[in-house]
């Protein structure tokens, strides 16, 4: 279905050459127009959420009001904390996040109203309430998973009603004193919050919600899609590859050494993580925004891992074009996002996709509200079957050990 226009997505559009636009606003325009947190300049998640949901740029007062409302709803219910605390620390953080989000459907106002017999015209209102409640609780849920897996026994602070969503998130993670990391996460979560509806996680949320599953169940399913290495796990793969290069080549790496390492990666049959995109055909504007953030921080400019990202960007597109098998030889957001987290001390790779999951809720959940308001139908694509003889022949080509008579017996048995 790549490239096939098959769904309505109201909040953002992804152009192959311009990149993402949120209600017509580019990332630089959003950075200029959307309010930041007190004492900071990065967009807040609340400002982006307001824009995605309403199509309007909020005032500073409106953004602060929404931040207060989300903070007041941000505490986890006891049953959710008991569930998350009961999970083994060896269970992947993304699996835990999906489980936790699904469990929160215990409190779904949409589900309760549907069982009472609400009108279709009311679907959007209850979807909105569930979506805001879920977004509000995600930082506490995600932080509890981090504490249990990586810092067991560490006390979690209470939600601070005076902080914005990301301010509370970094505080709950134990990094509240790091203003630069908080600002970075505000920028990352805001510009990462939506990326049109055709990506795997957003499309999954849209599909599941079209069955009138509530936002909790729908976004839990979306998180399962996000957990795949071709989607949300990509930034940890970038960082792993960068660290392998650093280990082999040392800190003072030249662009020529990186070029050789790129060829070594490609000739081994692997891809270069962080480069290429299913839609984009130029450098990802989100990558550019995060690189510009790095350029304003002397400690990031001096960081060996960030220097390696910048030098890789200088030579990788040329190598990939020469290689000739990449439609888009330019970096996507994953080429730098995890490396900045690593620099700031958040070094647990497996957790990075959880942060992605917190951010992507902004776009996926707000679009569920619009889907229900517009009365979009159950998604049910039509399928086409291949002729049975062709299908059987394809199987034998894939696995020569399977003979046609064995296949026929298998099919007859199943019938």
For 218-253, how does the pLDDT look when each residue is reduced to its tens digit (9 = 90+)? 999 999 999 998 888 778 888 899 999 999 998 889
Catalytic residue among 194, 195, 334, 343: 334
pTM of whole model > 0.85?
yes
- Does 5 reside within a domain? no
Active-site residue, 334 included? yes
Burial of 128 (0-12, 13-18, 19+ CB in 10 A): buried
Active-site residue, 399 included? no
Catalytic residue among 192, 195, 277, 343: 277
| Closest to 75 (Cα-Cα) out of 199, 168, 9, 10 | 168
Same domain? 94 vs 218? yes
Active-site residue, 251 included? no
Burial of 376 (0-12, 13-18, 19+ CB in 10 A): middle
pLDDT for res 164: 98
- Does 4 reside within a domain? no
Give 56-70 pLDDT, tens digit per residue.
999 999 999 999 999
What's the half-sphere exposure (Cβ side, CA atoms, 13 Å) at 76? Answer: 25
Give 176-214 pLDDT, tens digit per residue.
999 999 999 999 999 999 999 999 999 999 999 999 999
Same domain? 218 vs 91? yes
Number of domains in the chain: 3
Same domain? 80 vs 196? yes
Same domain? 265 vs 331? yes
Catalytic residue among 15, 92, 180, 231: 231
- Does 101 reside within a domain? yes
Q: Provide the residue range defining the domain that includes 186.
A: 19-228+350-373
Same domain? 326 vs 358? no
Same domain? 328 vs 413? no
């Amino acid at each position: 279905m790549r490239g096939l226009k098959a769904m309505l997505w109201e909040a953002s559009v992804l152009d192959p050459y311009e990149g993402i636009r949120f209600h017509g606003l580019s990332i630089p325009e959003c950075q200029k127009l959307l309010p930041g947190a007190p004492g900071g300049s990065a967009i807040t998640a609340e400002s982006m959420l307001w824009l995605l949901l309403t199509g309007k740029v909020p005032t500073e007062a409106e953004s602060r009001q929404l931040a207060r409302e989300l903070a007041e709803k941000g505490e986890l219910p006891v049953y959710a904390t008991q569930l998350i605390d009961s999970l083994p620390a060896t269970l992947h953080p993304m699996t835990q996040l999906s489980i936790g989000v699904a469990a929160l459907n215990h409190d779904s106002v949409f589900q309760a109203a549907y069982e009472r017999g609400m009108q279709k015209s009311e679907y959007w209102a209850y979807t909105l309430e569930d979506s805001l409640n879920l977004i509000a609780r995600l930082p506490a849920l995600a932080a509890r998973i981090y504490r249990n897996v990586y810092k067991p026994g560490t006390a979690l602070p209470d939600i601070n009603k005076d902080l914005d969503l990301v301010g509370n998130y970094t505080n709950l993670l134990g990094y509240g004193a790091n203003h630069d990391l908080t600002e970075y996460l505000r920028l990352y979560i805001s510009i990462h919050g939506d990326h049109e509806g055709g990506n795997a996680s957003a499309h999954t949320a849209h599909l599941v919600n079209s069955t009138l599953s509530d936002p909790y169940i729908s976004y839990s399913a979306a998180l399962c899609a996000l957990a795949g290495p071709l989607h949300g796990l990509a930034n940890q793969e970038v960082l792993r590859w960068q660290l392998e290069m650093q280990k082999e080549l040392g800190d003072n790496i030249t662009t020529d050494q990186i070029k050789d390492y790129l060829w070594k990666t490609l000739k081994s049959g692997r891809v270069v993580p962080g480069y290429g995109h299913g839609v984009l055909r130029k450098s990802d504007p989100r990558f550019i925004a995060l690189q510009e953030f790095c350029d304003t921080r002397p400690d990031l400019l001096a960081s060996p891992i960030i220097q390696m990202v910048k030098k890789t960007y200088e030579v990788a597109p040329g190598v990939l074009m020469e290689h000739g098998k990449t439609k888009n030889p330019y970096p996507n957001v994953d080429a730098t996002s995890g490396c900045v987290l690593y620099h700031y001390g958040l070094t647990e790779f497996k957790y990075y996709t959880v942060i992605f999951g917190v951010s992507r809720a902004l776009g996926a959940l707000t679009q569920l509200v619009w889907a229900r308001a517009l009365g979009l139908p159950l998604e049910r694509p039509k399928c086409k079957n291949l002729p049975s003889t062709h299908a059987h022949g394809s199987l034998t080509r894939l696995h020569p050990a399977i003979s046609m008579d064995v296949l026929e017996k298998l099919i007859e048995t199943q019938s």
